[in-house]
Structure 1
Amino acid sequence: MKKSNEASCHNRVSQQGIKVQLEIIKTEARGWGVRSLNSIPSGSFICAYAGELLEEKEAERRTSNDEYLFDIGNKYSDGSLWGGLSNVMPDAPSSSCGVVEDGGFTIDAVEYGNVGRFVNHSCSPNLYAQNVLYDHEDKRMPHIMLFAAENIPPLQELTYHYNYVIDQVYDSSSNIKKKSCFCGSSECTGRLY
């Protein structure tokens, strides 16, 4: 097997750190946000979504403060995980991973996190989230990496689709939770969940 040059390998861009200048900004209607001072080419690595790794039961206990929870999920044959990837990589396989039966994990960035926790939702996002494995082979615990889904001009807010399903998010009393969306997109559904 041929060993790759880690510095130039395109499959390792997320392991080489942030290469664009990111700025945390205060938005008018959505709290904090992130933008870049540079132009960003489509497909570029932006940042990881980092935080505390929680098992399913602990994540369920923390649903009252879900502002920074990122559900990694556990059904890898689910086509929704490949949603934004087909725009950037049209030849990407739609089912290259098997189904994992065990419970899933969630990343909680409330207390421990990085710039990724400030990237807002949009119904018309310019980023996509990608599961990446590089330091272990457990598909239940991938690193979540954000990549540019299109060419992004300087100072444009960076956003990705949070992939909530309306009327499918519940509070600890099993009541349906509702949260309005303020992304301002012409394709806005009006609700995150």
Structure 2
Amino acid sequence: MEVYLTPDKGWGVRAMAFIPRGTFIVEYAGEVIDDKECSRRAEDAKARNEPHFYMMEMAPGLIIDARSKGNLARLLNSSCDPNCETQKWHDAGNSEVRVGIFSLRDVLPGEELTYDYQFQHFGLAAAAGAYRCKCGAPNCRGTMDTQPERTRDFGRRVDVWWPAERRYYRGTVTAYSSAQQRHTVKYDDGDVGRVYLRAEKYRWVDDHGHVVGDTHEPEAGAVAAGRGGAAGKTRGGGG
């Protein structure tokens, strides 16, 4: 593989030899952090108008940050018509989850190596709306995100009802995971929880603390499935 400067996407990585379909390309390596630290770093990056990101969700609540400690994988660009994909597996030696990049099809020498971020980065894609896709593929979405919930709710203020304490706790949505269908909420008291909002009573609020719209009641099917993030829990119990 070779690192090179692309015409309009910054640095990229291209193949130096023929790569057959299904070949392991490289492991996505970096520093493993939790939801709370991911939220803090994501907010810092947004405040700095950081043009690049290097975070990828490896498991619920665990994110790989490749900014300071990473390898070639962090330089692969996104594409809506990629020639690679990410796969996760458990290391037989220590049972740790690892993320690798594999070729989806045969790749020719000189061809750029790409995969569809789908905003697995930032776990849930904290700043998806700020990153426009420039892959140039005929089917390009124009954005790196395939899930509107990620950008629609990111940064919104929300009151989540905690039945055990019979009160609302206010926080900010910092991420959304389509796989888990959960929002990551950073509460004003510093707690961080992964909340399945469909099973919760909650309400959106504006920057001035005024309630926006109606209060959302728990959906019967969601509650029956027992997937709530706050129901029956007490503060400090996690999400």
TM-score scaled by length of structure 2:
0.53
Q: Is 1:122 matched up with 2:74?
A: no
Residues 48-67 of structure 1 mapped to structure 2, 5 A cutoff = 48-63=27-42, 64-65=44-45, 67=53
Q: Tell me, yes or no, if the aligned pair for 2:18 and 2:109 is still in contact at 8 Å.
A: yes
1:36 Cα offset (Å): 1.2
Work out which structure has the larger RCO, using CA pairs closer than 8 Å and 6 or more positions apart in sequence: 1
Q: Whole-Å Cα distance in 2 between the matches of residues 114 and 169 of structure 1?
A: 21
Q: Tell me, yes or no, if the aligned pair for 2:5 and 2:11 is still in contact at 8 Å.
A: yes
Q: Whole-Å Cα distance in 2 between the matches of residues 143 and 28 of structure 1?
A: 32
* The structure with more strand, counted as a fraction of residues: 2
1:177 Cα offset (Å): 3.7
1:32 Cα offset (Å): 0.7
Structure 1 consecutive aligned stretches of length 4 or more whose deviation exceeds 2 Å = 135-138, 168-171
Q: Whole-Å Cα distance in 2 between the matches of residues 28 and 149 of structure 1?
A: 24
Q: Whole-Å Cα distance in 2 between the matches of residues 38 and 67 of structure 1?
A: 28
Q: Tell me, yes or no, if the aligned pair for 1:35 and 1:156 is still in contact at 8 Å.
A: yes
Q: Tell me, yes or no, if the aligned pair for 2:129 and 2:143 is still in contact at 8 Å.
A: no
Q: Is 1:38 matched up with 2:17?
A: yes
Residues 148-187 of structure 1 mapped to structure 2, 5 A cutoff = 148-164=103-119, 169-170=125-126, 177-187=129-139
Considering only aligned residues, what root-mean-square deviation do their CA atoms show, in Å?
1.8
Q: Whole-Å Cα distance in 2 between the matches of residues 41 and 34 of structure 1?
A: 17
1:169 Cα offset (Å): 3.9
3-state SS, counterpart of residue 187 of structure 1: coil
1:72 Cα offset (Å): 1.9
Q: Whole-Å Cα distance in 2 between the matches of residues 59 and 170 of structure 1?
A: 9
Post-superposition Cα deviations, 1:17-41, rounded to whole Å, max 9, x if no partner, equal xxxxx10011111111001110000
Post-superposition Cα deviations, 1:136-166, rounded to whole Å, max 9, x if no partner, equal 335xxx111000000000000000111228x
Aligned to 2:141: 189
User: Which residue identity is paired with 2:64?
Assistant: I
Aligned to 1:70: 56
Q: Tell me, yes or no, if the aligned pair for 1:45 and 1:147 is still in contact at 8 Å.
A: yes
1:132 Cα offset (Å): 1.6
Aligned to 1:86: none
Aligned to 2:210: none
Q: Tell me, yes or no, if the aligned pair for 2:116 and 2:144 is still in contact at 8 Å.
A: no
3-state SS, counterpart of residue 140 of structure 2: coil
Structure showing greater Rg = 2
Amino-acid identity (%): 34
Q: Which structure 1 segments of 5+ residues have no match?
A: 1-21, 75-103
3-state SS, counterpart of residue 62 of structure 1: helix
Q: Whole-Å Cα distance in 2 between the matches of residues 35 and 177 of structure 1?
A: 27
Aligned to 2:94: 136
